[in-house]
Amino acid sequence: MSTPRRRSQLKAIDEINMTPLIDLTFLLLIIFMITAPLLEYGVDVSPPAMNASPITDEKSVVVNLNNRGEFTLDGAVMSANAITAALAAKKQEKSDVSVMLRADGARPYQEVINLMKAVKAAGITNISLVTQAED
């Protein structure tokens, strides 16, 4: 008669109740789902104000892209190839020349990229984008 008793004790040890483990897993999943988005905003970052002083640098050349899609350099309207040639000449005069790009906000982004490619084709790698200060 003692044999059935041992089998029932072994049977109880042999089976693991998975319900508490699944409950714990779902609880941890819910906690991580709630806290993960909050961690993104947990870092206090204060970006600097955009009130910079005007740049008065003789090494800088300003290239403009107006709202009509025209490229201007030193007040003269030019094509992208002409700007590349003019900037290459300026690069010959001063090896450390930098370009500041001013583009109209209504122009497509691809036109700004094409203008940056034209500047890079002239051999100038120091390019800055000029923006307006926020109110």
H-only helix segments in 15-73:
19-40
Q: What is the pLDDT of residue 109?
A: 84
Can you give the residue ranges of every domain in the chain?
A: 2-40, 60-129
> Pairing relation of β-strands 127-129 and 98-103?
parallel
For residue 30, the model assigns a pLDDT of 93
pLDDT at 26: 96
Rounded Cα distance between 112 and 130, Å, is 12
Q: What is the pLDDT of residue 78?
A: 86
- The architecture of the domain spanning 60-129 is 2-Layer Sandwich (3.30)
**Tens-digit pLDDT string for the chain (135 aa):** 555 566 566 555 667 788 999 999 999 999 988 888 776 555 454 555 566 566 566 678 888 888 788 888 887 888 888 888 998 898 888 888 888 888 887 788 888 888 889 889 988 888 888 777 666
Give the model's pLDDT for residue 23.
Answer: 95
